[in-house]
Amino acid sequence: MKKKSSQFKNIIARREFVTVWVSLALIIAVCAIGISFLSPLFALLEAGFLCVVFILFFMGVYASARTNQMTAIERNELQSVLSGLEDALVVYDNHFNATFFNPAAERLFKINAKEVIGHTFTPQDVERAGWTTLTQVIFSSLAPRVVSRSKEGEYPEVVDLSFSDPAIELRVTTAPITEERGATLAFMKIIRDRTGEIAALRANTEFVTVASHQLRGPLTNINWAFQSLAQSTGLNDTDKVMVAGASGAARDLLRRIDELLIVAKMDEGHVGYNFEEANIVDFIGNILGDVVPQARMAGIKIYFDRPSDELPRVMIDPAQLSIAVVNIIENAIRYNVANGEVIVKAEKKDDAPFIAVSVRDTGIGIPAESMEKVFTKFFRADNAVKSQTEGSGLGLYIAKSIVAAHGGAMTVASEVDRGTIVTFTIPTDPALVPKREIGAEYL
């Protein structure tokens, strides 16, 4: 009751009620005049009519004032939330007039909100002292390096921006603010500072690169020594078995180190792709010819479901894409069942300018709870670890990165104990191939 009474007092004390109190004073004056000059009956009727009018007017103003009060409260609450965001937030209308600039934006761009709010952004602001980075965020095409993370023309629009002076890495999400009928009233940009996050990632990548290089040299010498011993004629059967086992372990370890070096280059975006036109069917056929012996040793049959029609030629880096395809096929062999099968298929997509290549196996499959992590570095599902204790968990990560550098995408569908299908696409339109490599920090 006290809360309602307090709310009522707050509402009738609002500015909207000034007209109500003025109207009440006029009504009292009119009633007083009526009592003086009219008969008691007419004066009573007049007073009753004016009271009804006043009550209706009071209720209308009260409802409007209450709505305005609630709107003001919600607006203040929203502004408090937006002001407390850790990410910078800039709002501007269709004419690029700035209407909101939260404290996080002030800290990031080192500009006071009072200077920004009411200002009309233009590309020429890039020359204004202290406004260069902010202007390049508003007009992202002016930024030194831009990597798009969303489809062109679709909202929310997400881009990664890199700056060297000062050294800043930002992820900018732009979304429209619309009215009920869908008309765009304004735009908001949420700017996330990723500088520290990316610096840590780069430091980790540098460590992996240096450590791998340091290990590769000595391990190469060890591997060479074991190979030399294996060719010695003075070894007995027991020694030959030991040397063969040690030599195989050294080769596997050398391969793991090479995989780490590949991943480090991919994370930095420094692989160095050399694209050339190729026939994807011939390309896959050559790879399958190389892996057939490995499949036979494992007791796995491999089939190539060749397309009936000729496929368009594609732009690929044969050396890099072969790494991706071999990794996918070797997984299909390694995690298969006895007398299992692997079926490789290539076909043109009807609804998009891409060729889809799928690798289907009859293996152990991937648990549903692990599907979201299959492309994560070093991840191996529990059933995969039980089936094959050896493995780095880098194969699909490397394959997906290579496919992405070709402008394609990779997906996995699987069912435990029924098998797995890994599918990747390669664009038939050269314009869809990325013009430059993208490091892991921008993924």
How is 139-169 classified by DSSP, letter by letter?
SGGGSSEEEE-S-TT-SSEEEEEEEETTEEE
Within a 13 Å sphere around the CA of 284, how many CA atoms are in the beta-carbon half?
A: 26
Band (pLDDT 50/70/90 cuts) for residue 427 is: very high
CB 204 within 8 A of CB 439: no
Asked if the model's pLDDT at residue 39 lies above 80, the reply is: no
Handedness of CA 295, 296, 301, 303 (dihedral sign): positive
Q: d(Cα 409, Cα 262) in Å, to the nearest integer?
A: 19
User: What pLDDT score does 23 carry?
Assistant: 75
User: What pLDDT score does 95 carry?
Assistant: 92
CB 32 within 8 A of CB 43: no
DSSP tag of 124: G
Q: d(Cα 368, Cα 74) in Å, to the nearest integer?
A: 42
Sheet-wide strand order for 184-193 = 98-101, 88-93, 184-193, 167-178, 157-164, 145-148
Least confident of 69-73, 199-203, 266-270, 292-296: 69-73
For range 264-276, the mean pLDDT: 80
Contacts of 231 (CB under 8 A, 6+ apart): none
CB atoms closer than 10 angstroms to residue 354: 21
Asked if the model's pLDDT at residue 54 lies above 50, the reply is: yes
The whole-model pTM stands at 0.60
Residue 336 backbone dihedrals phi, psi, to 5 degrees: -95, 180
Q: Which of 146, 150, 184 has its CA nearest to residue 163?
A: 146
Tokens at residue 32, please?
């007083």
How does the average pLDDT of the chain come out, rounded? 83
User: What pLDDT score does 17 carry?
Assistant: 72
Highest averaged pLDDT of the listed ranges 5-9, 302-306, 394-398: 302-306
Q: Which amino acid is at 133?
A: T
For range 424-430, the mean pLDDT: 94
Q: What is the pLDDT of residues 168-182, one digit of tens each?
A: 889 999 989 887 777
The DSSP secondary structure of 347-385, one letter per residue, reads EE-SSSSEEEEEEEE-S----GGGGGGTTSTT---HHHH
- Helix (H) or strand (E) run with residue 61 in it: helix 40-83
Q: What is the pLDDT of residues 72-127, one digit of tens each?
A: 655 555 455 555 568 899 999 999 999 989 889 999 999 999 999 999 999 999 99
User: What pLDDT score does 172 carry?
Assistant: 92
Asked if the model's pLDDT at residue 442 lies above 50, the reply is: no
Q: How far apart are the first and last CA of the chain?
A: 56
Q: What is the pLDDT of residues 118-169, one digit of tens each?
A: 999 999 999 999 999 999 999 998 998 888 877 777 888 988 888 887 788 8
